[in-house]
């Protein structure tokens, strides 16, 4: 693998297993990272190119012979018709083939070994109820020659499902996804299939459902959305979150790295997208009801314009042309009357549908508000009821604390009041005993005092007399000595 295949300015590059991504086609994936968890040994990575430029990327299942997904970005629809040239990839079936160009199946039969062993062929769809439905429709591609008309970009679809799938894709791109992603330069698209057990001619798996994942990578205003459409005719396209879509796919892959910046997604833009999706779903329901009521619906003709052109049928016979020429005015008149009646009925039904939808939306809004108010009321009541036991417990604790404080203060007061009489009674009771015991001591003290006083008086008197006597004696002694000395002769 890794060879460049080219035809008339268009080419397809098969990416080898040694490459982790899609090579030059990694730019069609958010953050340059393909979905993780989908690639297996039976899957082939293809970088689809046209006119020397990469157009989109495809992961192709050689076991189911249908694409697992196709990745593209910023679709630029181009006016005009498409040249229907369904081509095959020679190197998918024969890796050693010398052919380096995508070629028609008729040319590959004689030059490619094991042609059709790993990929679907045009002959697989012949004489079956299925058409080749493109995952990346030609109506969304600016290349109307080769790029999208490869069998590696197609899966079996019934005509009615193919019409509705293309209508859904174009409506979502034009009215919802591209307008809510700026100019669309940062819009990444994945469209894929999930195979069922049913196979066309026991070779090509019929999808159980097809899916679409969109990632808008505008900084600060991005978003991610997913869509699922089952192949049952009665089912309409469903909007899902990308995480929920990943759960529906095999191996639970991650379609966008970091879920397309999940933490910074703009919910307001997603709401606007969902509003448009609801309109697309309503239009599809109305189209289904009109198809079931009349096979000549103008809506069917409008959707059929999105399909790839089919080969013209064989020429009619001369008689048939003559009868057709004669009957054409009457048929046109009948069709005109029929279209007028259908248009009037369609407008009436649409008006009734709009009125009914508005009434239902009003009732739903009232019921929603009533329900929200009721739920809020019951939640508030529930919160109050739950908080009552706690509040009662807090009040009881506070009351018990207050009672204990009152009792403590009362006991302190009683103790203080009782402490005064006890001291007085003790003093009164001990007063006589102290008084009687003090009388002898007082009397003793009085007697001792009186005795001491008398002794002091006697001591004073005798001391005074003794002193006087000594003085007198001393005086007389001096005088007598002196006389004796002076008159010693006489004496």
Which tens digits make up the pLDDT trace of 201-223? 999 999 999 999 999 998 888 99
Residue 489 has pLDDT above 70, yes or no: no
* pLDDT band at residue 71 under the 50/70/90 scheme: very high
Which range, of 60-69, 104-113, 227-236, 253-262, averages the lowest pLDDT? 104-113
Confidence class of residue 292 from pLDDT cuts 50, 70 and 90? low
- Please give the mean pLDDT across all residues of the chain: 80
CB atoms within 10 A of CB 72: 25
pTM score > 0.85 for this model? no
β-pair partners for 207: 195
CB atoms within 10 A of CB 298: 13
| Residue 93 near residue 118, CB atoms below 8 Å | yes
The pLDDT value given to residue 48: 81
Per-residue model confidence (pLDDT) at position 323: 66
Residue with tokens 């009321």: 377
Residue 435 scores a pLDDT above 60: yes
Least confident of 150-154, 417-421, 441-445: 417-421
**Each residue of 75-130: pLDDT tens digit?**
655 545 555 667 777 778 888 777 755 677 777 777 788 888 888 888 889 888 89
Nearest to 158 by CA among 191, 123, 131, 196: 131
- CA–CA distance, 188 with 71 (Å, rounded to integer): 8
Closest CA to 200 of 157, 152, 249: 157
When pLDDT is cut at 50, 70 and 90, the band that residue 15 belongs to is: low
DSSP helix/strand/coil, 490: coil
CA distance 177 to 109: 42
**Pairing mode of beta strands 187-200, 66-73:** antiparallel
Give the per-residue pLDDT at 227: 96
Distances (CA, A) of 9 to 5, 87, 118, 146: 10, 14, 25, 9
What average pLDDT score do residues 401-417 get?
88
DSSP letter (8 states) at residue 76 = -
Distances in Å between the alpha carbon of 279 and those of 301, 335, 422? 20, 29, 99
- Domains along the sequence of the chain with CATH: 12-265 (3.40.570.10), 346-468 (no CATH)
pLDDT at 240: 94
The closest alpha carbon to 65, from 114, 101, 117, 3, belongs to 117
Length of the chain: 491
With cut-offs at 50, 70 and 90, classify the pLDDT of residue 264. confident
Do 2 and 95 form a contact (C-beta atoms < 8 A)? no
Q: CB-based contacts of 125: which residues, under 8 Å, 6+ apart?
A: 131, 132, 156, 200, 204
The side-by-side arrangement of strands in the sheet containing 43-50 is 4-7, 10-15, 43-50, 53-61, 66-73, 187-200, 204-216, 223-230, 238-240
Lowest mean pLDDT among 150-154, 380-384, 476-480: 476-480
DSSP bridge pairs for 224: 215
As a whole-number percent, the residues of the chain with pLDDT over 70 amount to 78
Angle between helices 159-172 and 267-293 (to 10 degrees): 150
pLDDT at 9: 35
pLDDT confidence of residue 275: 93
CA dist 3 and 13 (Å) reads: 6
3-state DSSP assignment of residue 86 = coil
Q: 260 by DSSP, 3-state: which? A: helix
């Amino acid at each position: 693998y890794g060879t460049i295949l080219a035809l008339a300015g268009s080419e397809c590059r098969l990416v080898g297993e040694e490459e982790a991504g899609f090579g030059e086609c990694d730019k069609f994936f958010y953050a340059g990272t393909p979905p993780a968890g989908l690639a297996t040994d039976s899957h082939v990575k293809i970088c689809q190119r046209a006119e020397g430029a990469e157009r989109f990327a495809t992961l192709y299942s050689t076991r189911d012979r249908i694409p697992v997904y196709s990745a593209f970005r910023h679709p630029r629809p181009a006016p005009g018709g498409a040249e229907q040239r369904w081509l095959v990839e020679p190197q998918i079936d024969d890796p050693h083939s010398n052919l380096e160009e995508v070629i028609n199946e008729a040319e590959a039969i004689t030059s490619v070994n094991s042609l059709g062993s790993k990929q679907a062929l045009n002959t697989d769809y012949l004489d079956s109820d299925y058409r080749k439905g493109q995952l990346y429709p030609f109506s969304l591609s600016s290349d109307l020659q080769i790029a999208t008309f490869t069998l590696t970009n197609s899966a079996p679809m019934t005509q009615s499902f193919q019409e509705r799938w293309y209508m859904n894709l174009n409506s979502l791109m034009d009215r919802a996804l591209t307008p809510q992603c700026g100019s669309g330069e940062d819009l990444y698209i994945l469209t894929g299939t999930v195979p069922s057990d049913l196979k066309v001619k026991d070779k090509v798996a019929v999808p159980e459902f097809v899916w679409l994942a969109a990632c808008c990578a505008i900084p600060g205003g991005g978003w991610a959305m997913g869509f699922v459409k089952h192949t049952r005719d009665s089912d309409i396209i469903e909007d899902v979150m990308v995480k929920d879509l990943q759960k529906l796919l095999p191996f639970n892959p991650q379609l966008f790295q970091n879920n397309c910046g999940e933490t910074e997604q703009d919910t307001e833009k997603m709401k606007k997208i969902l509003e448009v999706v609801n309109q697309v779903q309503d239009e599809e329901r109305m189209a289904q009801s009109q198809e079931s009521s009349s096979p000549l619906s103008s809506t069917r003709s409008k959707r059929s314009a999105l399909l790839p052109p089919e080969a013209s049928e064989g020429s009619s016979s001369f008689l048939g042309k003559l009868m057709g020429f004669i009957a054409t005015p009457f048929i046109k008149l009948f069709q005109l009357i029929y279209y007028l009646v259908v248009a009037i009925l369609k407008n009436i039904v649409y008006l009734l549908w709009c009125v009914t939808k508005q009434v239902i939306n009003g009732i739903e809004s009232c019921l929603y508000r009533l329900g929200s108010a009721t739920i809020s009321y019951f939640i508030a009541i529930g919160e109050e009821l739950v908080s009552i036991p706690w509040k009662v417990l807090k009040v009881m604790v506070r009351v018990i604390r207050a009672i204990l404080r009152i009792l403590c203060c009362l006991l302190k007061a009683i103790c203080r009041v009782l402490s005064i009489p006890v001291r007085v009674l003790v003093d009164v009771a001990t007063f006589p005993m102290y008084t009687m015991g003090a009388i002898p001591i007082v009397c003793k003290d009085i007697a001792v005092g009186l005795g001491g006083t008398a002794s002091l008086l006697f001591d004073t008197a005798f001391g005074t007399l003794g002193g006087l006597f000594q003085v007198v004696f001393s005086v007389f002694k001096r005088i007598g000595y002196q006389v004796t000395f002076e008159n010693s002769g006489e004496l």
